[in-house]
Amino acid sequence: MTYDQLMAVGTARLQDAGIVNARLESRWLLAHVSGCQHSELISRGPDKVAEQTISAFQERISRRADREPIQHILGTTEFYGLEFLSDARALIPRPDSEIVVEIALERISRERPVFIADLGTGSGCLLAALLANRPMAKGEGIEASEAAAALARENLMRLGLTDRSDVHPGSWASWQKWAEADLIISNPPYIASAEIEGLMPEVREHDPMSALDGGPDGLDAYREITELAARGMQPGAWLVFEIGFDQKQTVTALLKDAGFVEITCRKDLGGNDRAIAARRPIV
């Protein structure tokens, strides 16, 4: 079997499974198992494929057809220009979250040291992206899941950021540095419990439930974090949330009621409300 034939077989299998970008994902998986660059697959199209490569490719195509996320199969994914390990221990870093990084970067200085905290850090992608773009910053990820905390540490180490970062293994309620942070960022669980069953199988069956389920209305984490932040953050510090597409008004109201000011919302590339930034007022 040639590379072209093998990729055609993989594409057909993924199309039958309802994968939207079947050809692209088939190419990614073939490049992964063959050790080729994507461009090489074109020139090697008529070449015969080793049986070991065929077997490895078919195994990964089967996993993807069963709706395992391709990021888990490949083992890594890109976020904000950085490569992150990705597996079932934490949410997959997704492009929509890059706007949350953007709105946060706009609120922290390049010229002076700042301290950043990432509540529910998961893979560590938000914290790492901020630190990579603010060389004078230090940061801490707060993560209640031991497995996710371990993944965050692995990613921070791979990216050479361990000298400016730490991971606190515990809940944000038990964290003691609220008053030290210049900026607190969080992508908390925000899916309403009743909506979990309707999520895509890649999310519903492979992302940690604790990172998805936001309670009956999806707002449990926002209420808790906003209350803790209103009591504990230093005046002038920023709080940045990722939100669900329909949560702008409710999260904004929570922040206003807690006394936060300069509240701004930003849309993602799909045109959905995705990030909210708010400031604790300077007394």
Alpha helices in 20-163 (DSSP H): 22-34, 38-43, 51-65, 70-74, 98-105, 125-133, 146-158
Q: How far apart are CA 122 and CA 188, in angstroms?
A: 10
Alpha helices in 83-193 (DSSP H): 98-105, 125-133, 146-158
Give pTM, 2 decimals: 0.95
Position 44 scores a pLDDT of: 86
Position 36 scores a pLDDT of: 87
Position 186 scores a pLDDT of: 98
Q: How far apart are CA 74 and CA 151, in angstroms?
A: 16
How buried is residue 67: exposed, middle or buried, by Cβ count under 10 Å (0-12/13-18/19+)?
Answer: middle
Q: How far apart are CA 160 and CA 73, in angstroms?
A: 24
Neighbours of 145 (CB within 10 A): 18
pLDDT tens-digit profile, the chain (283 residues):
999 999 999 999 999 999 999 999 999 999 999 998 878 888 888 999 999 999 999 999 999 999 999 999 999 999 999 999 999 999 999 999 999 999 999 999 999 999 999 999 999 999 999 999 999 999 999 999 999 999 999 999 999 999 999 999 999 999 999 999 999 999 999 999 999 999 999 999 999 999 999 999 999 999 999 999 999 999 999 999 999 999 999 999 999 999 999 999 999 999 999 999 999 999 7
Q: How far apart are CA 119 and CA 105, in angstroms?
A: 16
Position 37 scores a pLDDT of: 84
Locus of tokens 């606190």: 168
Q: How far apart are CA 149 and CA 90, in angstroms?
A: 9
Q: How far apart are CA 41 and CA 3, in angstroms?
A: 7
Distance of CA 101 to the CA centre of its chain: 11
Amino acid identity of residue 272, one-letter, is: N
Given a contact cutoff of 8 angstroms between Cβ atoms, the answer to whether 26 and 10 are in contact is yes
Given a contact cutoff of 8 angstroms between Cβ atoms, the answer to whether 181 and 235 are in contact is no
pLDDT tens for each residue of 6-52: 999 999 999 999 999 999 999 999 999 999 887 888 888 899 999 99
Alpha helices in 144-200 (DSSP H): 146-158
What 3-state DSSP class applies to 209? helix
Amino acid identity of residue 50, one-letter, is: A
Position 260 scores a pLDDT of: 98
